[in-house]
Amino acid sequence: MKQGVGLTSLSARQRLTASLAAKGISNDLVLSAIETVPRHLFVDPSIGHLAYEDMALPIGQRQTISQPYVVALMSQAVVEIPNVKSVLEIGTGCGYQAAILSQLVAKVYSIERVHSLALDARLRLQDLKYSNIWLKYGDGQEGWAAHAPFDCIIITASTRSIPSRLKSQLADNGKIIAPKGHRHQQSLVVMERKDDQWQEKKLAPVVFVPLLSGTQQE
């Protein structure tokens, strides 16, 4: 696993993982990934001192890096999938969730629709030498058919229904993890596919920005 870079102390990370464990995050691999990945390098230095607080933080373009508890909850749902090897993430943002996932599965594919965020995330992950993450600038609702099927698809924006193209790129017995609902009432859900039948389980109430189509050149 990657070692943390920067001046933020190990004790701050350990306090964060202890608080996540107290909230019900029980998977040791997930807690280790949260402790190891240097979250302060995924946010602006001016707010780096807040990186190991359990809170969402702005990353520009009206987007945020998700609260660590939500990142951990989604990641824990991923590792509960038997023999999970490949994950598609819709909404790279700053790259933090992809970095966490890279500690847990063999291959992470991630799509970001905002050009500046995609570029920054690519450079950041390269600098930190994450070698099992593949990024693409594009419309996340289209998925990444060239690398399908995926064992898991994570969507980091809210939607009322999962786009059909994403569903078609999920492996049988795979899972989609996504916030579903409207702007003011969302639930993080796990949808499992079995022989084209879908089972859905709610994990927690959440608040995410909406899933948008197309791309944004800025």
Residue corresponding to tokens 């099992």: 132
Q: Which domain holds residue 124?
A: 10-206
Which tops the pLDDT comparison, 186 or 11?
186
Classify residue 58: in a domain, yes or no. yes
Residue 218 lies in a domain: no
CATH code where residue 75 lies: 3.40.50.150
Tell which residue, 47, 117, 53, has the closest CA to residue 89.
117
Write out the DSSP string of 114-183.
Answer: BHHHHHHHHHHHHHTT--SEEEEES-GGG--GGG--EEEEEE-SBBSS--HHHHTTEEEEEEEEEEEEET
156 located within any domain: yes
State pLDDT tens for residues 14-54. Answer: 999 999 999 999 999 999 999 999 999 999 999 999 999 99
The rounded percent of the chain whose pLDDT value lies above 70 is 96
110 an active-site residue? Answer: no
pLDDT of residue 195: 85
Average pLDDT over residues 120-128: 98
CA–CA dist 190, 197 (Å, integer): 14
Number of domains in the chain: 1
pLDDT at position 8 is 61
* Residue 5 clears pLDDT 50, i.e. is over it: no
Residue 61: the pLDDT is: 87
Catalytic residue among 66, 86, 102, 110: 66
